[in-house]
Amino acid sequence: MNTATQTIKVYNEIIELIAGGTTPQSVINFHLSDTAQNRLEDLIYNAKNNELTQDEKQELDAYLMLEHIMTLAKAKAHQYLNGAN
């Protein structure tokens, strides 16, 4: 699977969460699939060993951006559950 296809798959996992109708708890409970998580771990390992291609660096950057967005969404979801929206 090429880099663009793998990145799209991760985007699709988040789109499915949103399109399926979210609740604060479903946002908090969201985790990447095992496949996506394994790919992310491989990219991080390769980055630490300076073995990333340019395409893989772009893929890792996309993962990290999505991870940041989900971290912010999970923090906001916790606020909603605690009544501090």
Task: Look at residue 27 in the predicted model and tell me its pLDDT.
Answer: 93
Task: Look at residue 2 in the predicted model and tell me its pLDDT.
Answer: 65
Q: What confidence category does residue 4 fall into, taking pLDDT thresholds of 50, 70 and 90?
A: low
Residue matched to tokens 């999505």: 66
Domain that holds residue 63: 3-81
Phi and psi angles of residue 67, each rounded to the nearest 5 degrees, phi first: -65, -40
Nearest Cα to Cα of residue 35 among 72, 61, 6, 11: 6
User: Measured between alpha carbons, how far is 60 from 65 in angstroms, rounded to an integer?
Assistant: 9
Stated as kind and residue range, the H or E segment containing 42 is: helix 34-48
User: What is the tens place of the pLDDT at every residue in 24-81?
Assistant: 999 999 998 999 899 999 999 999 999 999 999 999 999 999 999 999 999 999 999 9
pTM of the model: 0.78
Q: What confidence category does residue 1 fall into, taking pLDDT thresholds of 50, 70 and 90?
A: low
Burial of 59 (0-12, 13-18, 19+ CB in 10 A): buried
Task: Look at residue 5 in the predicted model and tell me its pLDDT.
Answer: 67
Q: Count how many domains the chain has.
A: 1
User: Measured between alpha carbons, how far is 28 from 71 in angstroms, rounded to an integer?
Assistant: 9
